[in-house]
């Protein structure tokens, strides 16, 4: 039963100060299953303490992995794997559970992983993952809602993805590293989380060329060894704090961040009138006197990430003028729109584009959302709305933001978590 905590936000405070950015959730969710590819102890530093990470830990524990997570150092002991299954209850909670498929088939020649259903913003297919595994020689059957995959040993193949997919690239890489022969992955995802995964696989002994490009070549090896790694910073958490500050007004410095991962996003903040300075691992943003409306179109990396689209819309809701946010990655990811409208935003959605007419002020109300980034956009809206905003279903936020209310409070926001017993 997920927690029924809610946030109560009193809007109007400026945000000033410094925030330390946590490790990237989506990179951790790929690195953790990669540990299954070898027997032994893996240590992953800068692993955020999030609900999605606990879900992945619980899934790995069911397979026999011994997990310890003191602070932000995650230790996985994969010496005694006893099960090759990802059950429905877990995959339905978190689609990234599907990442165990590639490493299980690659190393153990078998896997039984629940077929993911739809998600909060529509169908999210896994056809590319399955086609790639079949190309690598796996036999794939769908039985009682499960993907049942088996192979004696996978063999290298030449794979071209029709669509650039983070998950399918990750799964295919993890399967191919132990395959017999050469695998070529064309139109591979180049998101930093995939680059991090590939680099980690190389630390484990994998042979991968083209890391960071959309053409990956993998020479399969017979065995991998456990390795340690340090996770990259979370570029979406970083972008969310920047959007909150640009909207609420103020000056913020992010520490432990990788500015290069945010090039497209920082460009948009500059266009909106913000002053943005970058250091080696820091970003400082100062809000403008008056925001300018700026269109964004989401795209694969290095484009503007779909995971920042909802937060950008909250910002544009109070930028004088008209802007358009178009999502080309997920065509119907607009859950947050009706809730932002409840706070007074003027937004109209036509197919995969939202037209936002900036208003002078938003007004507090009770809102909720069924997904992580949509919930983040509601928090931003709450920070700028007059009066009090209650954001329900905080458990979505806890999936992907580490102690967001504490970090925001340190910047001067008035935000409280109220636990379920209090109402
Ligand atoms: C990952 C991220 C998610 C982010 C998304 C896009 C994780 C855990 N999640 O999700 O936060 O929003 O990348 O940056 O890293 N597609 C297919 N067939 C497939 C797989 C994908 O058609 O088999 C399509 C999807 O519907 C979508 C596009 O490919 O339109 C990109 O999705 P993908 O990159 O696979 O997203 P995820 O890996 O699920």
| Residue range 39-93, pLDDT digits in tens | 999 999 999 999 999 999 999 999 999 999 999 999 999 999 999 999 999 999 9
**CB 389 less than 6 A from any atom of ligand 1:** no
pLDDT at 377: 98
d(Cα 74, Cα 61) in Å, to the nearest integer?
Answer: 13
32 and 231 Cβ atoms separated by less than 8 Å: no
Instruction: Say if residue 62 is in the same domain as residue 11.
Output: no
pLDDT at 3: 66
Instruction: Say if residue 147 is in the same domain as residue 225.
Output: yes
| Tally of structural domains, the chain | 2
- Residue 221, burial from CB neighbour count under 10 angstroms (0-12, 13-18, 19+): middle
| Domain boundary residue, one of 180, 204, 230 | 230
Is 274 one of the catalytic residues?
A: no
**Cα 237–Cα 242–Cα 243 angle in degrees, nearest 5:** 95
The low-confidence residues of the chain, meaning pLDDT below 70, are 1-3, 118-123, 420-423
Strands of 229-230's sheet in order across: 66-68, 74-77, 41-45, 229-230
Pocket test for ligand 1, best of 167, 185, 401 (most atoms within 8 A of CB): 167
End-to-end CA distance of the chain, in Å?
Answer: 17
Ligand 1 atom closest to the Cα of residue 166 is 34
Instruction: Say if residue 191 is in the same domain as residue 238.
Output: no
pLDDT at 422: 47
pLDDT at 117: 73
**How remote is the CA of residue 167 from the centroid of ligand 1, in Å?**
6
The range of the structural domain enclosing residue 253 comes to 6-22+233-418
Residue 144: inside a domain: yes
List residues bridging with 346 in a β-sheet.
357
CATH code (residue 137): 3.65.10.10
d(Cα 418, Cα 409) in Å, to the nearest integer?
Answer: 14
**CB 129 less than 6 A from any atom of ligand 1:** yes
**CB 89 less than 6 A from any atom of ligand 1:** no
Instruction: Say if residue 176 is in the same domain as residue 300.
Output: no
| Domain boundary residue, one of 192, 215, 230 | 230
| Domain boundary residue, one of 180, 211, 230 | 230
d(Cα 415, Cα 389) in Å, to the nearest integer?
Answer: 9
Residue 336: inside a domain: yes
The owner of tokens 């009770």 is: 366
Residue 423: inside a domain: no
**How remote is the CA of residue 141 from the centroid of ligand 1, in Å?**
22
Instruction: Say if residue 11 is in the same domain as residue 109.
Output: no
Instruction: Say if residue 279 is in the same domain as residue 210.
Output: no
Instruction: Say if residue 12 is in the same domain as residue 68.
Output: no
Active-site choice (41, 81, 119, 324) = 119
Contacts for 54-59: CB closer than 8 Å, 24+ residues apart: 55/90, 55/93, 55/94, 55/97, 56/28, 56/29, 56/32, 56/94, 56/96, 56/97, 57/32, 58/90, 59/86, 59/90, 59/97, 59/100
Instruction: Say if residue 120 is in the same domain as residue 210.
Output: yes
Residue 1: inside a domain: no
d(Cα 140, Cα 125) in Å, to the nearest integer?
Answer: 16
pLDDT at 370: 81
207 and 181 Cβ atoms separated by less than 8 Å: no
Instruction: Say if residue 125 is in the same domain as residue 49.
Output: yes
pLDDT at 123: 66
Instruction: Say if residue 165 is in the same domain as residue 194.
Output: yes
The owner of tokens 């279903």 is: 393
Instruction: Say if residue 114 is in the same domain as residue 183.
Output: yes
Residue 39: inside a domain: yes
């Amino acid at each position: 039963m997920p927690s029924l905590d809610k946030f109560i936000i009193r809007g109007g405070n400026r945000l000033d100060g410094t925030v330390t950015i946590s490790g990237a959730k989506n990179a951790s969710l790929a690195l953790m299953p990669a540990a299954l590819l070898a027997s032994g102890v893996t240590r992953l530093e800068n692993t955020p303490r999030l609900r999605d990470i606990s879900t992945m830990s619980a899934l790995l524990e069911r397979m026999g992995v011994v997990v310890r997570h003191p602070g932000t150092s995650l230790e996985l002991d994969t010496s005694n794997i006893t099960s090759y299954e990802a059950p429905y209850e877990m995959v339905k909670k978190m689609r990234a559970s599907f990442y165990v498929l590639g490493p299980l088939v690659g190393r153990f020649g078998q896997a039984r992983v629940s077929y993911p259903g739809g998600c909060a913003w529509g169908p999210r297919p896994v056809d590319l993952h399955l086609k790639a595994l079949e190309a690598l020689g796996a036999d794939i059957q769908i039985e009682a809602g499960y993907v049942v995959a088996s192979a004696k040993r996978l063999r290298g193949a030449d794979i071209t993805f029709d669509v650039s997919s983070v998950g399918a690239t990750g799964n295919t890489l993890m399967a191919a590293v132990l395959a017999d022969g050469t695998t070529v992955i064309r139109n591979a995802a180049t998101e930093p989380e995939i680059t991090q995964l590939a680099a980690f696989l190389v630390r484990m002994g994998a042979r991968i060329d083209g890391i960071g490009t959309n053409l990956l070549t993998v020479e399969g090896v017979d065995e991998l060894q456990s390795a340690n790694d340090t996770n990259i910073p979370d570029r979406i958490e970083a972008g969310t704090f920047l959007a909150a500050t640009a909207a609420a007004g103020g000056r913020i410095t992010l520490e432990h961040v990788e500015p290069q991962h945010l090039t497209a996003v920082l460009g948009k903040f500059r266009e909106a009138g913000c002053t943005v300075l970058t250091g080696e691992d820091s970003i400082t943003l100062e809000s403008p006197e008056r925001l300018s409306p700026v269109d964004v179109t989401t795209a694969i990396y290095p484009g503007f990430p779909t995971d920042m689209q909802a937060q950008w819309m909250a910002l544009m809701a109070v930028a004088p003028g008209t802007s358009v946010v178009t999502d080309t990655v997920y065509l119907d990811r607009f859950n947050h729109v009706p809730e932002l409208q409840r706070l007074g935003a003027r937004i109209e959605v036509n197919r995969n584009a939202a037209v936002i007419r900036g208003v002078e002020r938003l007004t507090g109300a009770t809102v909720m959302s069924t997904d992580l980034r949509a919930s983040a956009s509601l928090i931003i809206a709450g920070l700028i709305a007059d009066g009090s905003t209650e954001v329900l279903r905080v458990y979505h936020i806890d999936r992907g933001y580490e102690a967001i209310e504490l970090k925001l409070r340190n910047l001067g926001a008035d935000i409280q978590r109220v636990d379920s017993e209090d109402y």
